[in-house]
């Protein structure tokens, strides 16, 4: 990014995109029992699947927030959203009773995935851990 406002914009974008994952991961920790029952309706080994989801959401969100291994974290979270969107939102939207809510979640996830692709391609911007040790030009 060539100008300072673009660097601040990248920082704000990282903050905004990371918050949904950090908050969702922490909520899953505090509602583990309830979430385990929900996951069990869709996937085998719900405790393991939920544990993986929590790790990806919290650590991936924190990595994106701080700009630490940003491109890698963006790819991991992007790939995580594919089965999450398909299993927990798209299929219920096609066959479930809560179609409108699930359809909105599919659309939200697709938009987030677009933002993650931008991060994976362009990186975190100037204000990040990834670039903290690089010489100033």
pLDDT in the model for residue 135: 60
Count of Cβ atoms closer than 10 Å to residue 39 Cβ:
20
Q: What is the pLDDT along the chain (137 residues), one digit of tens a residue?
A: 455 677 899 999 999 999 999 999 999 999 999 999 999 998 999 999 999 999 999 999 999 999 999 999 999 999 999 999 999 888 776 776 678 888 889 999 999 999 999 999 999 999 899 876 666 55
Number of compact structural domains in the chain: 1
62 located within any domain? yes
The label of the residue with tokens 């950090």 reads 22
Q: Is residue 11 part of a domain?
A: yes
With both helix axes pointing from N to C terminus, report the angle between 4-30 and 32-40 in degrees, rounded to the nearest 10. Answer: 90
Structural domain contains residue 89: yes
Tokens of 113: 């995935």
Task: Region of 128 please: left (phi>0), alpha (psi -120 to 50) or beta.
Answer: beta
Its domain, for residue 62, covers: 7-122
In angstroms, how far is the first alpha carbon of the chain from the final one? 12
Give the pLDDT of residue 1. Answer: 43
Q: How far apart are CA 53 and CA 26, in angstroms?
A: 11
């Amino acid at each position: 990014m060539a100008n300072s406002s673009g660097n601040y914009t990248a920082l704000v974008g990282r903050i905004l995109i990371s918050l949904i994952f950090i908050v969702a991961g922490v909520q899953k920790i505090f509602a583990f029992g309830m979430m385990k029952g929900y996951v069990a309706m869709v996937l085998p080994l719900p405790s393991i699947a939920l544990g993986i989801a929590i790790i990806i959401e919290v650590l991936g969100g924190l990595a994106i927030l701080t700009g630490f291994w940003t491109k890698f974290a963006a790819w991991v979270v992007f790939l995580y959203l594919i089965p999450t969107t398909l299993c927990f939102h798209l299929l219920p939207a096609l066959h479930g009773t809560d179609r409108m809510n699930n359809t909105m979640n599919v659309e939200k996830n697709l938009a987030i995935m677009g933002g993650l692709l931008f991060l994976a391609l362009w990186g975190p911007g100037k204000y990040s851990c990834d670039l903290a040790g690089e010489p100033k030009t």
